[in-house]
Amino acid sequence: MCGVFAISSLDINDAGERVVDGLKKLEYRGYDSWGVATSSEMIKEVGKISASNATFIPDTKAIGHSRWATHGGVTQENSHPHRYKKVTLVHNGIFENYLSEKNRLLEKGETFLSETDSEVIAHLIQEQLDLSHDTKSAIQNVAKAITGRFSIVVMIEGLDEIFVARRGSPLIIGRGKDEYVNTTFIASDIPAFLEYTNIVNYIDDEEMAIIKNSDVNFYNLCSGEKIEKRNIEVSWKEEVADKGKYNHFMIKEIFDQKQSLTSAVNHTDEEIAEFISALQSGNGVYMVACGTAHKASIAAEYYFSQIAGRKINVVPASEMPAFERFINKETVLFAVSQSGETADILEILDLGKKRGAKILSITNVESSSIARISDNHLPIRAGKEKAVASTKATTSQMALLLLLAYADDNRLNEGRLLLQDLASNVNDLLNPRYEEYIKSVAETLNDCSNIFIIGRNSLFPMALESAIKIMEVSYIHAQGFAAGEMKHGPIALIEKGTPCIVLGCDSETISNAMELKSRGATIIGVAHVNNVLFDQWLKIPSAGTAISIASVLPIQILSYYLATLRGLDPDMPRNLAKSVTVK
Ligand code: F6R
């Protein structure tokens, strides 16, 4: 996580202000503090950069950072850039062995201003510079000493160049054109510079670059050998972050699902067939994902089992190392990710690549690291998702995964028809009256401190997903369970008035709901028909095997209102970031 942005130019002399503007577009990567350094100044602040109007002494060069804290609290000292003597740097990632290096430097008498791992890198580079004065080899030597994933952007006092290096965490070079032909942009993500250029060079793992104005040279980080890079034109248009008539991106993106479900499955038969043939080529499929995407993947486990008779092993990417002995050239690793930059997933894909596994992915960002490392990739085309809590990307992932399950069973057209039907029903469902009704349900829950959610079959992962959604934006404790599991322990927590959301109305789930109701629970039912048991009913369309997708929609709206009724900002919940590029 953390957003990194830098500019090196011959003729732009407001580089500092432009770096602030670019960082505002990367705020989804982390928003607890920020900082920008030019050749002569450094500004560091706690809080969101979106509120900043910082100005700088004119300069053609600047580096900046928007932080999601890993090492050390949210303080001005811990925010980036970090400076030690001649070295100023910003860092995204984690320097895993920083403590031993820091202790060594402390013993040498060096002092540190922050608690971060990043500041230690500045000291290490300075130590190397004291030995050789050659910044390129200084950075190479420091990279050898560091374990973990990182990208760094470095300025050295007295030098015009900006030095960058990457191992794991994303870093992209934007090559200026037209009026910006003498300018180069460096960012952890393309939106930072898309207003200036769509010509990019991707810095891959174990690579570095030295940038001076429009002059950019790439090198292998280990050997130092020069590398030639192709200029790539990205087809992105700058998507203007526009909430339209909505108060927050989250509710706008919930309503975007009126269209996004259709785009998610709008791939040609050939594209789907090619992907399915890759899926079928291996001997064992592991689906790796995190958070909400992981819950969408568990739903897919049900789809593939019940529709195509295929067992998919779904593992949270961070837990996959425990199963790494099963990754070999016969394995299909299937990544599901909105951002395409999630570090836990990339780590496993890197390992899979080394072992010759086939890498498949679906992401919302076609230029992302996960998409680029994949042998086969399908975009979910949800459109930019700005709110931290995933809504439209989640249902787009599920829609595409459901379609793939049908395709795996040679029933692609049946899947398409089902999803077309769902898309049109969702289009009808999402209207202001529905939203108002759910808001009124949220009002009844506003004072509660626990919410339980149950579901069976593909609604079980949706119970887990509903809990994530409620917790992350409203800070109310919520927990999802397989409907049949409550009686094996958690039912002890039910007392008079405990809110329980029941996903589905099949007879077994209703029996489980009855067990909760008998102990005093207030039941909020999510189903296509009402039931006498429901104290409140959130109606969804009848959606057949796509019921999991339909069921999550009212919970997204409910979560949104649980947050806003408590005066919280659902777009940027505390402690979170949209793109999680640290392990
Ligand atoms: C929650 C949420 C997160 C992400 C998770 C993975 O609403 O969005 O749980 O799903 O951080 O991110 P991606 O999908 O970008 O790999």
Q: The CATH number of the domain where 299 resides is what?
A: 3.40.50.10490
Q: Tens of pLDDT along 494-528?
A: 999 999 999 999 999 999 999 999 999 999 999 99
Same domain, 220 and 285: no
Confirm whether 209 is domain-assigned: yes
pLDDT, mean of residues 9-34: 91
Confirm whether 243 is domain-assigned: no
- Residue 2 bears catalytic tag: yes
Same domain, 163 and 284: no
Q: Is the pLDDT of residue 469 over 90?
A: yes
Phi-psi region of 454 (alpha: psi -120 to 50; beta: other; left: phi over 0): beta
Confirm whether 581 is domain-assigned: no
State whether the beta carbon of 397 lies less than 6 angstroms from ligand 1: no
Q: Tens of pLDDT along 135-149?
A: 999 999 999 999 988
Same domain, 229 and 266: no
Return the number of other C-beta atoms located less than 10 Å from residue 325's C-beta. Answer: 7
Say what the pLDDT of residue 240 is: 54
Say what the pLDDT of residue 238 is: 58
Task: Classify residue 195 as exposed, middle or buried by CB count within 10 Å of its CB (0-12, 13-18, 19+).
Answer: middle
Confidence at 132, pLDDT banded by 50, 70, 90: confident
Same domain, 294 and 192: no
Phi/psi of residue 368, nearest 5 degrees: -70, 165
Say what the pLDDT of residue 344 is: 94
Q: Which atom of ligand 1 is nearest to the CA of 342?
A: 16
Pick the closest to residue 251 from 577, 554, 495, 536 (CA basis): 554
Say what the pLDDT of residue 241 is: 56
Confidence at 51, pLDDT banded by 50, 70, 90: confident
Amino acid symbol at 225: E
Q: Is the pLDDT of residue 212 over 80?
A: yes
Say what the pLDDT of residue 281 is: 95
Confirm whether 381 is domain-assigned: yes
Same domain, 363 and 403: yes
Element (H, E) at 383: none
Give whole-number Cα distances, 341 to 136, 154, 385, in Å.
27, 22, 14
Q: How far is the CA of 389 from the centre of ligand 1 (A)?
A: 7
Bond from prior residue into 81 cis (ω within 30 degrees of 0): yes
Say what the pLDDT of residue 185 is: 98
Same domain, 17 and 59: yes
Confidence at 237, pLDDT banded by 50, 70, 90: low
- Residue 578 bears catalytic tag: yes
State whether the beta carbon of 382 lies less than 6 angstroms from ligand 1: no
Domain count, the chain: 2
Confirm whether 240 is domain-assigned: no
Query: Which among 199, 233, 267 is the end of a domain?
Result: 233
Q: What is the pTM of this model?
A: 0.88
Confirm whether 580 is domain-assigned: no
Same domain, 15 and 113: yes
Same domain, 220 and 313: no
Same domain, 226 and 259: no
Confirm whether 224 is domain-assigned: yes
Confirm whether 578 is domain-assigned: no
What proportion of the chain, given as a percentage, has pLDDT over 90?
87
Say what the pLDDT of residue 239 is: 60
Q: Is the pLDDT of residue 322 over 60?
A: yes
Q: Which tokens belong to 167?
A: 């191992």
CA dihedral 397, 402, 408, 411 (to 10 degrees): -140
State whether the beta carbon of 342 lies less than 6 angstroms from ligand 1: yes
Say what the pLDDT of residue 508 is: 97
Q: Spell out the residues 6+ positions from residue 567 whose beta carbon is closer than 8 angstroms to its own.
A: none
Residue with CA at minimum distance from ligand 1 atom 8 = 390
Q: Tens of pLDDT along 166-190?
A: 998 889 999 999 999 999 999 998 8
Q: Tens of pLDDT along 99-123?
A: 999 999 999 999 999 999 999 999 9
Residue with CA at minimum distance from ligand 1 atom 16 = 337
Strands (E), 483-550: 499-503, 522-527, 536-539
The parent domain of residue 8 ranges over 3-233
Distance in angstroms (rounded) separating the CA atoms of residues 526 and 551: 6
pLDDT, mean of residues 61-84: 91
State whether the beta carbon of 291 lies less than 6 angstroms from ligand 1: yes
pLDDT, mean of residues 411-431: 96
Catalytic residue among 311, 386, 578, 583: 578
Say what the pLDDT of residue 235 is: 74
Distance in angstroms (rounded) separating the CA atoms of residues 119 and 89: 8
**DSSP letters spanning 243-296:** -TT-SSHHHHHHHHHHHHHHHHT---HHHHHHHHHHHHTSS-EEEEE-HHHHHH
Same domain, 300 and 224: no
Say what the pLDDT of residue 94 is: 87
Q: Is the pLDDT of residue 349 over 60?
A: yes
Same domain, 218 and 275: no
Q: Is the pLDDT of residue 242 over 60?
A: yes
Sole residue written with tokens 């829609």: 399
Q: Is the pLDDT of residue 582 over 80?
A: no
Task: Classify residue 312 as exposed, middle or buried by CB count within 10 Å of its CB (0-12, 13-18, 19+).
Answer: buried
Q: How far is the CA of 468 from the centre of ligand 1 (A)?
A: 10
pLDDT, mean of residues 149-153: 93
pLDDT, mean of residues 416-429: 96
Same domain, 225 and 265: no
Query: Which among 176, 199, 233 is the end of a domain?
Result: 233
Among 2-16, 236-250, 365-379, 418-432, which stretch is predicted with the lowest mean pLDDT? 236-250
Q: Which tokens belong to 273?
A: 């067939």
The CATH number given to whatever domain includes residue 224 is 3.60.20.10
Mean pLDDT across the chain:
95
pLDDT, mean of residues 2-12: 94
Q: How far is the CA of 85 from the centre of ligand 1 (A)?
A: 38
Distance in angstroms (rounded) separating the CA atoms of residues 248 and 253: 9
3-state DSSP call for residue 45? Answer: strand
Q: Which tokens belong to 27?
A: 């705020």
Say what the pLDDT of residue 446 is: 85
Distance in angstroms (rounded) separating the CA atoms of residues 75 and 345: 29
